[in-house]
Amino acid sequence: MLTIDHVTKTFFPGTVNERVALSDVSLHLDEGDFVTVIGSNGAGKSTLLNIISGKLPLDTGELTIDGRSMKRLKDFQRARYIGRVFQDPMAGTAPDLTIEQNLALALRRGQRRGLGPSLTKARRERFREELTSLELGLENRLKARVGLLSGGQRQALSLLMAGFTSPRILLLDEHTAALDPQRADLVTRLTKSIVEREGLTTLMVTHNMEQALRVGNRLIMMHEGEIILELDEQQKNAMTVDGLLAEFAKIKGAVLDDRAMLG
Ligand SMILES: Nc1ncnc2c1ncn2[C@@H]1O[C@H](COP(=O)(O)OP(=O)(O)OP(=O)(O)O)[C@@H](O)[C@H]1O
Protein backbone atom coordinates (compact mmCIF):
# COMPACT_ATOMS: atom_id res chain seq x y z
CA MET A 1 0.00 0.00 0.00
CA LEU A 2 2.95 2.36 0.67
CA THR A 3 5.90 2.03 -1.65
CA ILE A 4 9.07 4.08 -1.42
CA ASP A 5 11.22 3.35 -4.40
CA HIS A 6 14.87 4.46 -4.66
CA VAL A 7 14.22 7.78 -2.94
CA THR A 8 17.01 10.30 -2.40
CA LYS A 9 17.02 13.62 -0.59
CA THR A 10 20.00 15.95 -0.27
CA PHE A 11 19.94 19.26 1.58
CA PHE A 12 21.97 22.16 0.17
CA PRO A 13 23.36 20.13 -2.75
CA GLY A 14 26.60 21.30 -4.25
CA THR A 15 27.48 23.52 -1.29
CA VAL A 16 29.83 23.04 1.64
CA ASN A 17 26.73 22.38 3.75
CA GLU A 18 25.55 19.47 1.58
CA ARG A 19 23.85 16.75 3.65
CA VAL A 20 22.64 13.53 2.10
CA ALA A 21 19.60 12.77 4.28
CA LEU A 22 18.22 9.85 2.23
CA SER A 23 20.42 7.86 -0.09
CA ASP A 24 18.56 5.45 -2.38
CA VAL A 25 15.97 4.35 0.18
CA SER A 26 13.40 1.71 -0.76
CA LEU A 27 10.70 0.38 1.53
CA HIS A 28 7.34 -1.29 1.08
CA LEU A 29 4.55 -1.46 3.64
CA ASP A 30 1.59 -3.77 3.31
CA GLU A 31 -1.82 -2.88 4.66
CA GLY A 32 -1.72 -3.10 8.47
CA ASP A 33 2.08 -3.19 8.77
CA PHE A 34 3.45 -1.44 11.85
CA VAL A 35 7.12 -0.63 11.23
CA THR A 36 9.34 0.81 13.95
CA VAL A 37 12.26 2.95 12.77
CA ILE A 38 15.46 3.31 14.77
CA GLY A 39 18.83 4.82 13.94
CA SER A 40 21.58 7.14 15.03
CA ASN A 41 21.22 10.92 15.13
CA GLY A 42 20.99 12.40 11.65
CA ALA A 43 20.26 8.98 10.11
CA GLY A 44 17.38 10.37 8.06
CA LYS A 45 14.43 9.09 10.10
CA SER A 46 12.54 12.40 10.31
CA THR A 47 13.37 13.16 6.70
CA LEU A 48 11.79 9.84 5.72
CA LEU A 49 8.56 10.80 7.54
CA ASN A 50 8.68 14.31 6.05
CA ILE A 51 8.98 12.87 2.56
CA ILE A 52 6.00 10.59 3.15
CA SER A 53 3.85 13.36 4.62
CA GLY A 54 4.77 15.74 1.81
CA LYS A 55 6.33 18.27 4.14
CA LEU A 56 9.51 17.87 2.07
CA PRO A 57 9.74 17.12 -1.67
CA LEU A 58 11.98 14.22 -2.63
CA ASP A 59 14.81 14.69 -5.14
CA THR A 60 14.61 11.43 -7.08
CA GLY A 61 12.68 8.19 -6.77
CA GLU A 62 9.00 7.42 -6.40
CA LEU A 63 6.51 7.37 -3.55
CA THR A 64 3.10 5.78 -3.94
CA ILE A 65 0.15 5.13 -1.65
CA ASP A 66 -2.36 2.58 -2.95
CA GLY A 67 -0.52 2.71 -6.26
CA ARG A 68 -1.04 6.47 -6.62
CA SER A 69 2.02 8.69 -6.93
CA MET A 70 2.25 11.22 -4.11
CA LYS A 71 5.14 13.13 -5.63
CA ARG A 72 3.16 16.03 -6.93
CA LEU A 73 0.72 16.26 -4.04
CA LYS A 74 1.46 18.93 -1.44
CA ASP A 75 1.19 18.14 2.24
CA PHE A 76 -2.33 19.57 2.55
CA GLN A 77 -3.42 17.44 -0.40
CA ARG A 78 -2.00 14.36 1.30
CA ALA A 79 -3.72 15.17 4.58
CA ARG A 80 -6.49 12.66 4.05
CA TYR A 81 -3.94 9.89 3.55
CA ILE A 82 -1.71 10.79 6.47
CA GLY A 83 -2.10 11.04 10.25
CA ARG A 84 0.87 12.27 12.23
CA VAL A 85 1.77 12.62 15.89
CA PHE A 86 4.86 14.67 16.68
CA GLN A 87 7.35 14.63 19.54
CA ASP A 88 6.01 17.91 20.89
CA PRO A 89 2.79 17.21 22.82
CA MET A 90 1.67 20.75 22.02
CA ALA A 91 1.76 20.17 18.26
CA GLY A 92 -1.23 17.88 17.70
CA THR A 93 -4.03 19.62 19.57
CA ALA A 94 -5.49 23.14 19.84
CA PRO A 95 -4.86 24.40 23.40
CA ASP A 96 -7.62 27.02 23.44
CA LEU A 97 -10.33 24.60 22.38
CA THR A 98 -11.99 22.11 24.71
CA ILE A 99 -11.41 18.37 24.53
CA GLU A 100 -14.73 17.84 22.76
CA GLN A 101 -14.06 20.66 20.29
CA ASN A 102 -10.68 19.13 19.43
CA LEU A 103 -12.26 15.72 18.90
CA ALA A 104 -15.04 17.22 16.74
CA LEU A 105 -12.42 18.94 14.59
CA ALA A 106 -10.55 15.65 14.15
CA LEU A 107 -13.74 13.89 13.08
CA ARG A 108 -14.39 16.64 10.57
CA ARG A 109 -10.91 16.32 9.09
CA GLY A 110 -11.66 12.70 8.33
CA GLN A 111 -14.62 13.67 6.19
CA ARG A 112 -14.34 14.62 2.58
CA ARG A 113 -16.65 17.60 2.46
CA GLY A 114 -19.14 19.65 4.37
CA LEU A 115 -18.87 21.17 7.77
CA GLY A 116 -19.17 17.80 9.41
CA PRO A 117 -20.36 16.80 12.79
CA SER A 118 -21.58 19.24 15.33
CA LEU A 119 -21.53 18.32 18.98
CA THR A 120 -24.66 16.22 19.14
CA LYS A 121 -25.57 14.07 22.12
CA ALA A 122 -24.63 10.91 20.25
CA ARG A 123 -21.30 12.42 19.29
CA ARG A 124 -20.52 13.36 22.87
CA GLU A 125 -21.39 9.82 23.91
CA ARG A 126 -18.92 8.45 21.37
CA PHE A 127 -16.22 10.86 22.58
CA ARG A 128 -16.88 9.76 26.15
CA GLU A 129 -16.50 6.12 25.20
CA GLU A 130 -13.31 6.72 23.23
CA LEU A 131 -11.83 8.79 26.04
CA THR A 132 -12.71 6.12 28.58
CA SER A 133 -10.51 3.71 26.62
CA LEU A 134 -7.53 5.98 27.35
CA GLU A 135 -7.97 5.37 31.08
CA LEU A 136 -6.97 8.92 31.93
CA GLY A 137 -10.30 10.13 33.29
CA LEU A 138 -10.69 12.55 30.39
CA GLU A 139 -14.22 11.29 29.69
CA ASN A 140 -15.41 13.49 32.55
CA ARG A 141 -13.60 16.56 31.26
CA LEU A 142 -15.11 17.06 27.80
CA LYS A 143 -15.42 20.79 28.37
CA ALA A 144 -11.93 21.30 29.77
CA ARG A 145 -9.50 23.34 27.68
CA VAL A 146 -6.82 21.12 26.19
CA GLY A 147 -4.15 23.63 27.24
CA LEU A 148 -4.77 22.51 30.81
CA LEU A 149 -3.83 18.88 30.15
CA SER A 150 -0.45 17.29 30.82
CA GLY A 151 1.91 16.35 27.98
CA GLY A 152 1.01 12.67 28.25
CA GLN A 153 -2.70 13.41 28.22
CA ARG A 154 -2.28 15.59 25.15
CA GLN A 155 -0.29 12.91 23.32
CA ALA A 156 -2.98 10.34 24.15
CA LEU A 157 -5.59 12.75 22.76
CA SER A 158 -3.47 13.41 19.63
CA LEU A 159 -3.32 9.66 19.02
CA LEU A 160 -7.05 9.26 19.42
CA MET A 161 -7.61 12.17 17.04
CA ALA A 162 -5.18 10.76 14.47
CA GLY A 163 -7.12 7.48 14.62
CA PHE A 164 -10.45 9.30 14.10
CA THR A 165 -9.41 10.48 10.68
CA SER A 166 -8.81 6.87 9.52
CA PRO A 167 -5.55 7.78 7.77
CA ARG A 168 -4.08 5.38 5.22
CA ILE A 169 -0.79 5.81 7.07
CA LEU A 170 -0.06 6.88 10.63
CA LEU A 171 3.32 8.54 11.18
CA LEU A 172 4.62 8.67 14.75
CA ASP A 173 7.67 10.87 15.12
CA GLU A 174 9.28 10.12 18.48
CA HIS A 175 5.88 10.79 19.96
CA THR A 176 6.79 9.45 23.41
CA ALA A 177 10.27 11.03 23.65
CA ALA A 178 9.18 14.13 25.54
CA LEU A 179 7.27 12.17 28.20
CA ASP A 180 8.45 10.78 31.51
CA PRO A 181 8.93 6.97 31.48
CA GLN A 182 5.55 6.23 33.05
CA ARG A 183 3.62 8.43 30.60
CA ALA A 184 5.74 7.15 27.72
CA ASP A 185 4.74 3.64 28.70
CA LEU A 186 1.09 4.56 28.81
CA VAL A 187 1.20 6.26 25.40
CA THR A 188 3.08 3.27 23.97
CA ARG A 189 0.32 0.95 25.20
CA LEU A 190 -2.35 3.26 23.77
CA THR A 191 -0.50 3.39 20.47
CA LYS A 192 -0.57 -0.38 20.27
CA SER A 193 -4.25 -0.62 21.05
CA ILE A 194 -5.38 2.23 18.75
CA VAL A 195 -3.27 0.94 15.85
CA GLU A 196 -4.65 -2.57 16.36
CA ARG A 197 -8.24 -1.44 16.82
CA GLU A 198 -8.23 0.77 13.72
CA GLY A 199 -5.97 -1.59 11.72
CA LEU A 200 -3.70 1.36 10.87
CA THR A 201 -0.62 1.04 8.69
CA THR A 202 2.02 2.73 10.83
CA LEU A 203 5.60 4.00 10.81
CA MET A 204 6.98 4.89 14.24
CA VAL A 205 10.34 6.60 14.75
CA THR A 206 11.86 6.07 18.16
CA HIS A 207 15.21 6.38 19.90
CA ASN A 208 14.15 3.76 22.39
CA MET A 209 15.24 0.37 21.06
CA GLU A 210 13.35 -1.52 23.71
CA GLN A 211 10.14 0.24 22.65
CA ALA A 212 10.97 -0.41 18.99
CA LEU A 213 11.12 -4.13 19.75
CA ARG A 214 8.02 -4.13 21.93
CA VAL A 215 5.57 -2.75 19.35
CA GLY A 216 4.95 -3.28 15.67
CA ASN A 217 5.48 -6.25 13.39
CA ARG A 218 8.58 -5.03 11.52
CA LEU A 219 11.66 -2.96 12.30
CA ILE A 220 14.11 -0.97 10.21
CA MET A 221 17.42 0.52 11.29
CA MET A 222 18.75 3.59 9.47
CA HIS A 223 22.24 5.05 9.35
CA GLU A 224 23.60 7.92 7.29
CA GLY A 225 20.61 8.07 4.97
CA GLU A 226 20.34 4.34 4.35
CA ILE A 227 18.24 1.48 5.65
CA ILE A 228 20.98 -0.82 6.95
CA LEU A 229 18.83 -3.49 8.59
CA GLU A 230 15.28 -4.77 8.07
CA LEU A 231 13.64 -7.28 10.37
CA ASP A 232 10.45 -9.12 9.58
CA GLU A 233 8.02 -10.21 12.29
CA GLN A 234 9.80 -13.44 13.13
CA GLN A 235 13.28 -11.86 13.21
CA LYS A 236 11.97 -8.96 15.26
CA ASN A 237 10.33 -11.21 17.83
CA ALA A 238 13.62 -13.04 18.29
CA MET A 239 15.70 -9.83 18.56
CA THR A 240 17.05 -8.13 21.70
CA VAL A 241 18.51 -4.66 22.32
CA ASP A 242 21.98 -6.19 22.62
CA GLY A 243 21.32 -8.07 19.41
CA LEU A 244 20.45 -4.79 17.64
CA LEU A 245 23.66 -3.15 18.87
CA ALA A 246 25.66 -6.17 17.72
CA GLU A 247 23.96 -6.05 14.29
CA PHE A 248 24.86 -2.39 13.97
CA ALA A 249 28.49 -3.10 14.86
CA LYS A 250 28.59 -5.96 12.39
CA ILE A 251 27.12 -3.98 9.51
CA LYS A 252 28.99 -0.75 10.06
CA GLY A 253 32.17 -2.27 11.42
CA ALA A 254 31.91 0.13 14.32
CA VAL A 255 30.72 0.06 17.88
CA LEU A 256 27.67 2.17 18.36
CA ASP A 257 27.48 4.55 21.23
CA ASP A 258 24.28 3.26 22.92
CA ARG A 259 23.24 6.72 23.92
CA ALA A 260 23.33 7.92 20.33
CA MET A 261 20.50 5.56 19.62
CA LEU A 262 18.72 5.55 22.88
CA GLY A 263 18.53 9.33 22.83
N1 LIG B 1 15.61 21.08 6.89
C2 LIG B 1 16.90 20.66 6.84
N3 LIG B 1 17.85 21.45 6.29
C4 LIG B 1 19.11 21.01 6.18
N5 LIG B 1 19.55 19.81 6.60
C6 LIG B 1 18.65 18.98 7.15
C7 LIG B 1 17.27 19.36 7.31
N8 LIG B 1 16.61 18.34 7.88
C9 LIG B 1 17.52 17.36 8.10
N10 LIG B 1 18.74 17.74 7.66
C11 LIG B 1 19.97 16.93 7.68
O12 LIG B 1 19.68 15.68 7.08
C13 LIG B 1 20.24 14.62 7.82
C14 LIG B 1 19.13 13.69 8.34
O15 LIG B 1 18.39 14.39 9.33
P16 LIG B 1 17.08 13.78 10.02
O17 LIG B 1 16.50 14.86 10.86
O18 LIG B 1 16.22 13.15 9.00
O19 LIG B 1 17.73 12.64 10.93
P20 LIG B 1 17.07 11.82 12.13
O21 LIG B 1 17.44 10.40 11.90
O22 LIG B 1 15.64 12.14 12.27
O23 LIG B 1 17.92 12.38 13.35
P24 LIG B 1 17.54 12.60 14.90
O25 LIG B 1 17.42 11.24 15.47
O26 LIG B 1 18.74 13.32 15.38
O27 LIG B 1 16.28 13.39 14.94
C28 LIG B 1 21.06 15.27 8.93
O29 LIG B 1 22.38 15.38 8.46
C30 LIG B 1 20.43 16.62 9.08
O31 LIG B 1 21.38 17.55 9.54
Q: Could you read off the pLDDT of 47-64 as tens digits, one per residue?
A: 999 999 999 999 999 999
Instruction: Give CA–CA dist 32/1, Å, rounded.
Output: 9
Mutate to test the pocket of ligand 1, among 9, 40, 46, 227 (most ligand atoms within 8 A of CB): 46
Mutate to test the pocket of ligand 1, among 45, 84, 256 (most ligand atoms within 8 A of CB): 45
Residue 113 pLDDT > 60, yes or no?
no
Over residues 245-256, the mean pLDDT reads: 76
Q: What average pLDDT does the chain have?
A: 88
Structure confidence at residue 106 (pLDDT): 85
Structure confidence at residue 165 (pLDDT): 78
pTM for the complete prediction? 0.90
**What are 196-209's pLDDT values in tens digits?**
988 999 999 999 99
Please tell me what DSSP assigns to residue 88: S
Calculate helix-pair angle for 181-198, 151-164, nearest 10 degrees.
10
Q: Which of 9-13, 182-186, 250-254 is most confident?
A: 9-13
Task: Report the share of the chain in percent with pLDDT over 70.
Answer: 92
- In angstroms, the Cα distances linking 34 to 31, 96, 176, 179 are 9, 33, 16, 22
**Summary count for the chain: helices (H), strands (E):** 10, 10
